[in-house]
Amino acid sequence: MTSTNPIQYVKGVGPRLAEKFAVRGIRTPQDALYFFPKAYQDRRRVVPIRELSPGMTVPVRGKVLSVQGGGRVFRGPRRLEVVIGDGSGRIVGKWFRYHPSLAERFQVGEPVTLCGTVRFFRLLPEMHHPEILSGEEAGDPVHSGRIVPVYPEVEGIPPRILRKIQWEIVRTHADKETECFPTWILEKAGVPPLQESLAAIHFPREDADASMFRTFSSPQQRRLAFGELFSLQWALAERRAGIGREPAVPLPWDREIVGEIKRRLPFELTRAQRRAVNEILKDVGRPHPMHRLLQGDVGSGKTIVAWIAAMVAWRHGVQSAVMAPTEILAEQHYRRFVSLAAGLPVRVDLLSAALPPKEREAARQRIREGETDIAIGTHALIQESVEFSNLALGIIDEQHRFGVLQRAALRQKAKTSPHLLVMTATPIPRTLAIALYGDLDISVIDEMPKGRIPIKTRVVPENGRRQVFEELRRELDRGGRAYVVLPLVEESEKLALRDATRTAERLREAFPDVEVGLLHGRMKAEEKETGMRRFKEGELRILVSTTVVEVGVDVPDATIIVIEHAERFGLSQLHQLRGRVGRGTKPSACYLMVGNEQGEEASARLSVMEQTSDGFRIAEEDLRIRGPGDFAGVRQSGIPDLVFADLVRDAGMLQTAKDVAEELQRKDPDLSESGHEGIRRFLARRPGQPQIDLPSWKQ
């Protein structure tokens, strides 16, 4: 029988059970091979009853001492209680659904094995609904004396029958699967071939490490994780290679250009900035488009790096476009670029929605006719009505607000593919960056300009609020400004708004002599911008906001940020928020308020914020605590849900998958060489064959 025949013909199945399997999407033995255990029980050692402790999941074996069933307790459902003794002690098996056929499995005086999780009741050990192994089953290698698989429920098939069928299928069909990866790849990944992996995942070998299987980290399980990570990386490698083959206008640098730029820099670049500049200049010098992500914490100095790239383009007589997510950020870039360009014949233009229609059209015309060297704007830049004369470099700031589509749209504004630099202030742990941006090269600015005054950060319980307000008072008296941030409650924007309004009122009462502003998610973009601007210009001294305030906006006079319900934010998000202060020359402070009932656990988690200002360290910690799914933007990024792989645990393997995908992409991009047909087949397969339940550790 082949693996793709109907499952009905497997020994012990038949038409009735085949129907039950079909409900789960399992139609063939092959499907069943990919229907994986959700948990494992280690039944290699029968444990004497005396040695039991609560929470153990083990087999116990003994003689049946008594069977009591059918009686009702407090008019509840009938139940069954069986007492078993093994000489070292007694244990009670309890079933809360009585059935005569269940009771019949126990004969007083006969031996029986119970497998289940131990709990204690009035000092006596008991198991609820344990698996019963009697007669021959007690010695059957499918159910006992081994690490036993626990499958997700298939309705209408009792667990022991299901396990027996899986055993039968694995025994006869696992070997017939073909490994799709050549040996060199498996060796690189450090995983065994598919056949062995499938067999062991269902029925781990005698000497296997049960705890590894439970956490899905055995080599055999990692073989499947590798497949998953590889297909993810292959898609990215393909996209990247495709872009890499397109032609682009090369913008080589030379001494003269660089000398000129250097002379005009207002400060000395940090080592990290220099490294990023070198990487970028190397890229844009090639006749293929740059596709690079520039990662750097808030305030690490990404703008100047972008400026240098734009200057190189200018010297070559081609246009650059700088795209920011909001008007206010676009304006900020515009002003900086204009001041950096002072004394040079560089023509910088701001394409803003705030311009009167006539001026906007004039700007569009300058861009179209090549009179603009550097065009700065929001997504207005990628609107249809905007044409460039010879766009050769695109710079996108604050990547997490723009997706792949915007990147593509900007690329389309040029006749030949432009070089693309994407900048993000969200420090992303390396593993996540590889998974999310595998199609981009990555430069990292992991060093702050000298002379930054660290932001004093404190986690404050509710009873510390008075002191925080006193501190705020002092700072306002000195002319400082403050942010007060509240979490956006997604389920109820109304509630969030009420909270924010209330907070603003409270602050107005406490500080009647200053203007308090309020920004929230329900406001129109323009209203938000106006509020932000009034704060920036000093008209508002305290700004209360749900988390809508732009991260990149520079308000050097803002020296205090109070974050309410800090425990509801991820660490990376808190770090982003904190980055709104500490932008000037005065010392700044960040107060993370936690409600009293949140208590110590929240405080402990947040204490990382007090200890470090390194965004990458914080991001790693965040990833470790919350997992990748919760990490900023991952949900929207298009990464499929991974079943076997885990971006935190399998970081090393992710890198291997990326390396392998890139190597193959270089050597054999259409996978036509001999030895690669399996990979092609694997990539083309219909994903997620039967309904696979998440392994228990992922639930």
Residue 302 CB, nearest distance to ligand ADP (Å)? 3
Cβ contact 323:429 at 8 Å: no
Q: Which does 273 bind (CB under 5 to 8 A by kind): Mg ion, ligand ADP, none?
A: ligand ADP
Applying CB under 5 A, among 227, 289, 531, 552 the residue interacting with Mg ion is 552
SS3 content of the chain, % helix, strand, coil (to 5): 40, 20, 40
Residue closest to 480 by CA, chosen among 488, 471, 468, 489 = 471
* Start-to-end Cα distance in the chain: 35
Residue 580 CB, nearest distance to ligand ADP (Å)? 11
Alpha-carbon distance 296 to 448, whole Å? Answer: 9
Q: Which residues contact 160 (CB under 8 A, 6 or more apart)?
A: 131, 137, 143
Residue 330 CB, nearest distance to ligand ADP (Å)? 13
Q: Is 296 in the site for ligand ADP (CB under 6 A)?
A: yes
Q: Which part of the chain contacts ligand ADP (CB under 6 A), choosing from 85-93, 302-310, 473-481, 527-535? A: 302-310
Considering beta carbons, is residue 315 or 407 the nearer one to Mg ion? 407
Q: Give me the helices (H) in 517-598, please.
A: 525-536, 571-578
Cross-strand bridge partners of residue 660: none
Q: Which part of the chain contacts Mg ion (CB under 5 A), choosing from 106-114, 279-287, 551-559, 561-569? A: 551-559
Residue 606 CB, nearest distance to ligand ADP (Å)? 23
Q: State the pairing for strand pair 542-546/57-72.
A: unpaired
Residue 583 CB, nearest distance to ligand ADP (Å)? 7
E strand residue ranges, 332-382: 348-351, 374-377
Alpha-carbon distance 229 to 673, whole Å? Answer: 22
Q: Which does 301 bind (CB under 5 to 8 A by kind): Mg ion, ligand ADP, none?
A: ligand ADP
- The count of residues interacting with Mg ion (CB under 5 A) is 1
Cβ contact 337:307 at 8 Å: yes
Applying CB under 6 A, among 449, 461, 464, 517 the residue interacting with ligand ADP is 449
- Which string of x and - marks every residue 229-268 that binds ligand ADP (by CB under 6 A)? --------------------------------------xx
Q: Is 615 in the site for ligand ADP (CB under 6 A)?
A: no
Residue 397 CB, nearest distance to Mg ion (Å)? 6
Alpha-carbon distance 551 to 571, whole Å? Answer: 15
Q: Is 181 in a helix, a strand, or coil?
A: coil
Residue 274 CB, nearest distance to ligand ADP (Å)? 9
Alpha-carbon distance 400 to 383, whole Å? Answer: 19
- Which string of x and - marks every residue 460-489 that binds ligand ADP (by CB under 6 A)? ------------------------------
- Which string of x and - marks every residue 415-434 that binds ligand ADP (by CB under 6 A)? ----------x---------
Residues 498-527 that bind ligand ADP (CB under 6 A): none
Q: Which does 270 bind (CB under 5 to 8 A by kind): Mg ion, ligand ADP, none?
A: ligand ADP
Q: Is 349 in a helix, a strand, or coil?
A: strand
Cross-strand bridge partners of residue 442: 293
Residue 617 CB, nearest distance to ligand ADP (Å)? 17
Residue 352 CB, nearest distance to ligand ADP (Å)? 19
- Taking residue 667's Cβ as centre, other Cβ atoms within 10 Å add up to 10
Q: Is 220 in the site for ligand ADP (CB under 6 A)?
A: no
- Taking residue 155's Cβ as centre, other Cβ atoms within 10 Å add up to 7
Considering beta carbons, is residue 552 or 570 the nearer one to Mg ion? 552
Q: Is 299 in the site for ligand ADP (CB under 6 A)?
A: yes
Residues 304-363 that bind ligand ADP (CB under 6 A): 304
Residue 240 CB, nearest distance to ligand ADP (Å)? 25
Residue closest to 289 by CA, chosen among 253, 245, 237 = 245
Alpha-carbon distance 43 to 29, whole Å? Answer: 26
Residue closest to 588 by CA, chosen among 561, 620, 550, 621 = 561
Contacts to Mg ion by CB under 5 A: 552
Binding site for ligand ADP (CB under 6 A): 267-270, 273, 296, 298-304, 425, 449
